[in-house]
Structure 1
Amino acid sequence: MKKRFLILPLILCCFLIASPGWSQRAQKKDYLITLSTPYGAMKLILFDQTPLHKANFIKLTKEKFYDGLLFHRIIEGFMVQGGDPNSRNAEKGKALGNGDVGYKIPAEFHPDLFHQKGALAAARDNNPEKASSGCQFYIVQGKTLNSADLQRQLERKLDRIPRKPTETQKEVYQKLGGTPHLDGGYTVFGQVIDGLAVVDSIAAQAKDPRDRPMKDIPMSVSAEWMKKKNITKRYGYTFQ
């Protein structure tokens, strides 16, 4: 009962987003997310196809939940992860990654959303429903993959829903890079549209045996309600 109650505000928020008044406004505007780090800032958009994750991330951002948290897990060629509330002011060498906000978000898998480089996705534990953490996320770095590498990744046996990428998605994995073996296992709910080099810089830092960076990498996150045409003009992102 507790988990159902805690997720109710998200469902209510999504209901409001889906209302006619909101939809009319959202046709022309959306949130631009700025994630700032010591290595620069990333600009991200959040997907309408994942309304629960989008509403939750905006809610936490507006509450300044992420400000001062760390990227607590980095694996070069794979991803950088943050959002653990226990990472705020965490002592050096402390194991991180188990903090949460007391609720999970139902999985929102969508065939058009995949783990290309720069994808924003929700972390999770091994729950059978593949429900997402209410706060922890990762940003994909990944690697560029030739046809053979791509096929090997797709054949990896993971706790995921098997999904064959489209030809367009295959081309992205081969030219831009990503982690296709995670598709169907973790919810992708956003994308870096500017600042991919920041992901590379974070992933390249020295780390301890638990993959925690030796030097703390704090973040701050903000959301700006902007005209979509201005986002497109500044960053070249085309809304679907």
Structure 2
Amino acid sequence: MTPIYTFLFSILSFFTAQTDPPVKVEMVTNFGTIVLQLSDETPLHRDNFIKLVEDGVYDSLLFHRVIEHFMIQGGDTQSKHADTLSNLGSSDLPYTIPAEITPDLFHKKGALGAARTGNPERASSSTQLYIVQGKVQNDSLLAHNEGRINKMLARHYGMNDPANKPLIDSLEAARTEKDTVLSKELNGRLNSILDSYWNFDKYQIPAPHRQVYQTIGGTPHLDQNYTVFGEVISGLEVVDAIAAVETDSQDRPRSEVRILRMRIL
């Protein structure tokens, strides 16, 4: 192969590699089939999810938390054989995924997100996921939810501000020593600081996102605080059907909603 052809082949190979289609995953549930498309903007979450699907981790797990007009959540690794009295929602594999919160991925209806604890790094659960149902938003709801977004962002940036670390460390020490009086005092001081924290760029819901929220709906108050790593491209009616099931006081469906199997398409 001549040098010029070698060069042209390299260029063609590069652009071909860059235009690989997004990964699609088929999720078969006892309510029907949902097809998910994973985002290349969140490679850590994408690759983790692909591995879990290929390893069969999700097969036979439950959607253990369902809230109509909000989201459906599954992926608790203990849910496969859980009885009706089991307390679900705290089990996954023993690692977390660093947050991949990007400006373009938001909580529109059908968004695929990663559940997490309230950790300061906003790191995601290894296995627990949610699919947004949400609801259509008007201007008043969007303004309210924008405020909720910034309140969560204030707590995030405040918790990670080095100036607040001595207080946070003292609070953790008091909790470790089970000093409830001191813990309550320090926690009150910390919450007061976080509630009024201002040293960050306030978030405004972009106009294109607002338009989506005002037409198909979603749950905007989670934006910029949880990682969205894909979306439903087929089967939104299945999400709606699952979201409508009767649940108990812990938001667990009274009748099983189970992921039967997943596979990469």
Same-fold call, TM > 0.5? yes
What residue ranges of structure 1 are gaps of 5+ in the alignment?
Answer: 1-19, 225-240
Residue aligning to 2:264: 223
Q: How many residues align?
A: 205
Residue aligning to 1:189: 229
SS in 2 for 1:94: coil
Aligned pair 1:169/2:209, yes or no? yes
> Sequence identity of aligned pairs in percent?
47
Superposed displacement of residue 86, structure 1: 0.6
How far, CA to CA, are the matches of 2:61 and 2:15 in structure 1? 32
SS in 1 for 2:22: strand
Kept after mapping to 2: 8 A contact 1:163/1:183: no
SS in 2 for 1:72: strand
Please list, as runs of the form range in 1=range in 2, the aligned pairs for 1:94-109 lying within 5 A after superposition.
94-109=86-101
Structure with more contact order per residue of length (Cα contacts < 8 Å, sep ≥ 6)? 2
Superposed displacement of residue 23, structure 1: 7.5
Residue aligning to 1:69: 61
Using a 3 Å threshold, how does the CA distance of structure 1 residues 153 and 102 change in structure 2: closer, same or farther? same
Kept after mapping to 1: 8 A contact 2:63/2:257: yes
Misfit runs of 4+, over 6 Å: 20-23
Please list, as runs of the form range in 1=range in 2, the aligned pairs for 1:103-142 lying within 5 A after superposition.
103-142=95-134
Kept after mapping to 1: 8 A contact 2:22/2:39: no
Kept after mapping to 1: 8 A contact 2:73/2:131: yes
Kept after mapping to 1: 8 A contact 2:22/2:40: no
Higher-helix-fraction structure: 2
How far, CA to CA, are the matches of 1:22 and 1:52 in structure 2? 22
Residue aligning to 1:17: none
The higher radius of gyration belongs to 2
| Equivalent in 85, 90, 107 of residue 77 of structure 2 | 85
Superposed displacement of residue 151, structure 1: 0.8
Deviations 1:126-183 (A, max 9, x none): 1100000011000000000111111111112643375322111100000000011100
What residue ranges of structure 2 are gaps of 5+ in the alignment?
Answer: 1-11, 157-201
Superposed displacement of residue 70, structure 1: 0.3
SS in 1 for 2:152: coil
| Equivalent in 22, 28, 33 of residue 30 of structure 1 | 22
- How large is the RMSD of aligned CA atoms in angstroms? 1.7
Using a 3 Å threshold, how does the CA distance of structure 1 residues 207 and 45 change in structure 2: closer, same or farther? same
